[in-house]
Structure 1
């Protein structure tokens, strides 16, 4: 059976993606900072590993323990909503270390075995916030837009070796713990001068009828992993699909 290594599996998109791949007969290496086997169904096709994508030693151990990987899903990430003026530079570094450099480091660690084997897929989960400018998202969007550009160039680098790279772009997912954690971070320290803008952003969210469910993203990752004809950019979620269509 093919094997998928998925980062950020403790909740949300990563957890649902691990479940879907298990349900469809794949071997799954589910990674998370603090491993919890109780969040996934018991299976002899499941391996749960500790992984911090910002720690080189942790990456090396996880990739070695995972063994042969057919698909690498870079899903681990942290959210942030605040103007640049309200974003401490150490926080910006933390966001880029996880969202951008963590993705690059995991990809770099996974490439050699795929290149030598002449097959494999790398799926990077970013965000539809990269599709158009939005209030209070300059730092977070930059971290994800960098992954988009990275993946596009990576695909060219790896194509001669039979390895594919694709991007899945979720929309807003209020029902995930990622959203809860991000919201707590978002509401901390927004400068007073931006209060009206922030209030407008939160109000617009309350009116949104279209959102992204974890299963939408899992299905998008599945398609990116298994369909050689999948487009480079794959919106995942009703709001994501609508937003991408509006820009065409």
Structure 2
């Protein structure tokens, strides 16, 4: 039997592309969306209703997959939200929502799926993080923090779950041409704000990077390779060379030099 793959946030963007790619490769794909009725005719795999911030909806979706297939072999923790803005001016409820969705949400899903994977004696959990999680980026600091938290937590979780035959992996994408920019929260550009000019310029640059991003099929291919790898690595990065190289530079450059490099890049 082909593997049963469970993908959160599969109605659009990277999640949808991964779902379509794996479906075409013969996997039994189940995707999720907060509003599956809107998208059910747009994908060839089942879309289940799920909100990662509501544990009851997670339990219901997982229960339905298990009742239909008797197993969940792979979880792709993809659902997430974008957020931009000066940290000082970003509303606290929006900061909390970003952490609830990007960090606590994936943890809720992992907790709900692990009992089934333990029962099976195997499973693979792939957490979609971000290259932005490897560095504090100006006006993306909250987003970077949510993804960094998931990266580090996965490192610990991976060691805890190996005894059950469960693998856990991070995959960090760079900029991809998806609809993430239109769906993320942008702190408003406020008249009289000391950040208005710098934030406005950086926001324009960030949106341009997404528009010019790579084809998300590259992420789908990478996730397919990871699924087929017997002993996957802890961390994978997928994106433009300079985005991946920026992680290497952070390791080797003095902190102030790296900071100056980022500020030049963002024209700050």
Per-residue deviation, 1:217: 1.7
Structure 1 counterpart of 2:186: 186
- Counterparts of 1:213-224 in structure 2 under 5 Å? 213-224=215-226
Per-residue deviation, 1:199: 3.4
Say which SS state the counterpart of residue 246 (structure 2) adopts: helix
Deviation per CA, 1:183-240, whole angstroms, max 9, x where unpaired?
xx32525572112322342454447997332112212222222213432111112254
Structure 2 counterpart of 1:55: 54
Structure 1 counterpart of 2:90: 87
Structure 1: gaps (5+ residues): none
Say which SS state the counterpart of residue 232 (structure 2) adopts: coil
Structure 1 counterpart of 2:35: 34
Tell whether the 8 Å contact from 2:133 to 2:143 is kept in structure 1 after alignment.
Answer: no
Provide the rounded CA distance (Å) in 1 between the counterparts of 2:108 and 2:55: 8
Q: Which has the larger radius of gyration?
A: 2
Structure 1 counterpart of 2:135: 132
Give the superposed CA RMSD.
2.1
Provide the rounded CA distance (Å) in 2 between the counterparts of 1:89 and 1:162: 39
TM-score, normalised to structure 2, is: 0.83
Per-residue deviation, 1:106: 0.2
Question: Which of these residues, 226, 234, 242, is aligned with residue 236 of structure 2?
Answer: 234
Q: Does 1:163 align with 2:166?
A: yes
Say which SS state the counterpart of residue 83 (structure 2) adopts: coil
Structure 2: gaps (5+ residues): 252-268
Structure 1 pair 207–29 and aligned structure 2 pair: CA distance change class (3 A): closer
Tell whether the 8 Å contact from 2:178 to 2:210 is kept in structure 1 after alignment.
Answer: no
Tell whether the 8 Å contact from 2:174 to 2:239 is kept in structure 1 after alignment.
Answer: yes
Per-residue deviation, 1:40: 1.0
TM-score, normalised to structure 1, is: 0.89
Tell whether the 8 Å contact from 1:129 to 1:141 is kept in structure 2 after alignment.
Answer: yes
Tell whether the 8 Å contact from 1:235 to 1:244 is kept in structure 2 after alignment.
Answer: no
Per-residue deviation, 1:247: 4.6
Structure 1 pair 144–247 and aligned structure 2 pair: CA distance change class (3 A): same
Structure 1 counterpart of 2:257: none
Per-residue deviation, 1:243: 3.4
Structure 1 counterpart of 2:99: 96
Say which SS state the counterpart of residue 105 (structure 1) adopts: helix
Higher deviation after alignment, 29-38 or 201-210: 201-210
Q: Does 1:106 align with 2:105?
A: no
